[in-house]
């Protein structure tokens, strides 16, 4: 850029600077040789004056357009726009962006915070979006508090949220920095917002963890329901219907991960002597599985799982029916079953004719 001395301050002819740096000139902006004579000066903090064109500044920023439209005291006085409080090079990069809609990575890395403030004050959304993305990629433990404060002042919600998440995940390291100590002394409201965000984030993690555990439980119950149908229809390693030959395979069933456990539970249920008095926990668990299957089964007359039809008749005879918690459990298991059928490939099974169940008593099955 061509520099010259005027009134004890340094001036830069910005249009002349663009001649040697044509890569910064956008396609829709005429070349510097075609531009009219610069008619406005931008005054920076270090006394630097940047000459520019009012028409370009006004088209790039509505705020600068409003400033340039203000009436002057003397018609002959030159137009001067003060942009103070930021480094001179940051202002130069800002004006360059107004001309070319481009910004060097080195400038963005060095003056990203200043450019974000300028883009917010002068309403340049393209630059603001660029600064927001750049600053979010360059967050560190040392600068996250400063960037967070600026994001709140400049109305940059995406950057604000990323700063909050970064700070929440690294709070033990951030609270040792000078920026955090300054924040505690001068901005207690922002400190409260940060602590509330961290508390809500921890609560969300706990809720999500609890939700995943519940979904895992419902998925296991759904798989257990399929195991019951599989065992009493086709038979498996050690348990099956009385009219199916024993399976020579003695290893765990490859179709269901919980099939082996269900078989052990069925064997215990068939031989337990304390279940009549209701003192066996494992038998109660098996009883609940059979009841849950009956609540889900839509073909009780053809179902081969023991006690399916009896549970259906009992619910019909009971005026109260199933309680609310039990109905909620049934809905959750049915939902898990539907999700499982959509996400997993369908198991190929040999279709066998279903046999009607006798009206009373528990059906026979092989041990």
* Contact (CB, 8 A) for 58 and 65: yes
Q: Name the band, by pLDDT with cuts 50, 70 and 90, for residue 256.
A: low
Cβ proximity of 252 and 264 under 8 Å: no
Q: How many CB atoms lie within 10 A of CB 111?
A: 23
One DSSP character per residue, 36-52 reads ----EEEE-TTS-EEEE
**What secondary structure does DSSP assign to 135-183, as a single string?**
HHHT--TTTHHHHHHHHHHTT-HHHHHHHHHHHHHTHHHHTTSHHHHHH
Q: What are phi and psi of 269, to 5 degrees?
A: -60, -35
Residue 258, pLDDT score: 77
Strands 3-6 and 40-43: unpaired
| Spatial separation of the C-alpha atoms in residues 13 and 52, rounded to whole Å | 7
* Closest residue by Cα to residue 135 from 201, 169, 149, 191: 149
If one compares 25 and 227, the residue with the highest pLDDT of the two is 227
- Range among 4-8, 15-19, 224-228, 338-342 rated most confident: 224-228
H helix and E strand count, the chain: 15, 7
Q: Summarize pLDDT for 42-77 with one digit per residue, the tens.
A: 999 888 899 999 999 999 999 999 998 877 665 556
- DSSP character for 7? T
If you average pLDDT over residues 344-351, what whole number do you get? 46
- Could you give phi then psi for residue 225, rounded to 5 degrees? -65, -40
* Residue pLDDT, tens place only, 198-236: 999 999 999 999 999 988 888 888 888 888 888 888 777
Which of 118-125's residues contact partners 24+ apart within 8 Å by CB, and which partners? 118/83, 118/86, 118/90, 118/91, 118/94, 119/94, 119/154, 120/153, 120/154, 120/155, 120/156, 121/63, 122/61, 122/63, 122/64, 122/94, 123/61, 123/62, 123/63, 124/60, 124/61, 124/97, 124/98
- pTM of the full structure: 0.62
Check if the beta carbon of residue 66 is closer than 8 Å to that of residue 27. Answer: no
Question: Distance (Å, rounded) from C-alpha 117 to C-alpha 139?
Answer: 17
Non-local (6+) Cβ contacts of 99 within 8 A are 14, 18, 24, 25, 26, 29, 52, 56, 60
pLDDT tens sequence across 166-179: 999 999 999 999 99
Element (H, E) at 292: helix 281-296
Pairwise CA distance, residues 28 & 221, whole Å: 65
Exposure string of 85-100, with b = 16+ CB inside 10 Å and e = fewer, is ebebebbbbbbbbbbb
| Residue 340 binned pLDDT confidence (cut-offs 50, 70, 90) | confident
pLDDT value for 111: 94
Angstrom distances, CA of residue 225 to CA of 65, 139, 201, 275:
71, 50, 36, 21
Q: Residue 240: is its pLDDT beyond 90?
A: no
CA distance 364 to 266: 12
**CB burial readout 3-16, b (16+ within 10 A) else e:** eeeeeeeebbbbbe
pLDDT at 366: 40
Q: Is the distance from CB of 306 to CB of 362 less than 8 angstroms? A: yes
């Amino acid at each position: 850029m061509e520099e010259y001395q005027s009134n004890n301050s340094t001036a830069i002819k910005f249009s002349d600077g663009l001649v040697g740096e044509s890569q910064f000139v956008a396609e829709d902006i005429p070349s510097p040789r075609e531009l009219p004579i610069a008619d406005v000066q931008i005054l920076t903090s270090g006394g630097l004056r940047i000459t520019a064109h009012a028409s370009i500044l006004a088209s790039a920023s509505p705020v600068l357009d409003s400033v340039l439209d203000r009436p002057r005291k003397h018609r002959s006085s030159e137009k001067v726009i003060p942009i103070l409080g930021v480094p001179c090079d940051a202002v130069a990069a800002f004006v360059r962006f107004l001309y070319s809609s481009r910004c060097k990575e080195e400038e963005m890395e060095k003056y990203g915070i200043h450019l974000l403030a300028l883009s917010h004050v002068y309403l340049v959304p393209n630059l603001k979006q660029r600064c927001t993305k750049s600053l979010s990629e360059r967050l560190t433990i040392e600068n996250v508090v400063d960037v967070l404060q600026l994001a709140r002042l400049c109305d940059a919600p995406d950057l604000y949220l990323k700063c909050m998440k970064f700070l929440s995940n690294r709070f033990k390291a951030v609270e040792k920095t000078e920026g955090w100590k300054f924040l505690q002394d001068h901005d207690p409201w922002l400190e409260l917002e940060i602590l509330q965000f961290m508390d809500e984030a921890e609560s969300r993690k706990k809720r999500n963890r609890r939700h995943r555990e519940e979904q895992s439980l419902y998925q296991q119950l759904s798989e257990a329901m399929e195991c019951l149908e599989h065992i009493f229809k086709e038979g498996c390693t050690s348990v099956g219907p009385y009219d199916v030959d024993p399976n020579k395979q003695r290893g765990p069933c490859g179709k269901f991960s919980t099939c082996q456990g269900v078989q052990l539970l069925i064997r215990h249920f068939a031989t337990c002597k304390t279940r009549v008095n209701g003192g066996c926990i494992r038998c109660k668990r098996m009883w609940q599985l059979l009841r849950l299957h009956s609540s889900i089964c839509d073909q009780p007359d053809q179902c081969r799982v023991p006690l399916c039809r009896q549970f259906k008749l009992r619910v019909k005879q009971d005026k109260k029916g199933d309680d609310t918690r039990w109905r909620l459990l049934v809905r959750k298991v049915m939902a898990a079953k539907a999700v499982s059928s959509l996400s997993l490939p369908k198991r190929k099974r040999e279709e066998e004719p279903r046999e009607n169940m006798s009206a009373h008593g528990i059906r026979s099955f092989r041990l």
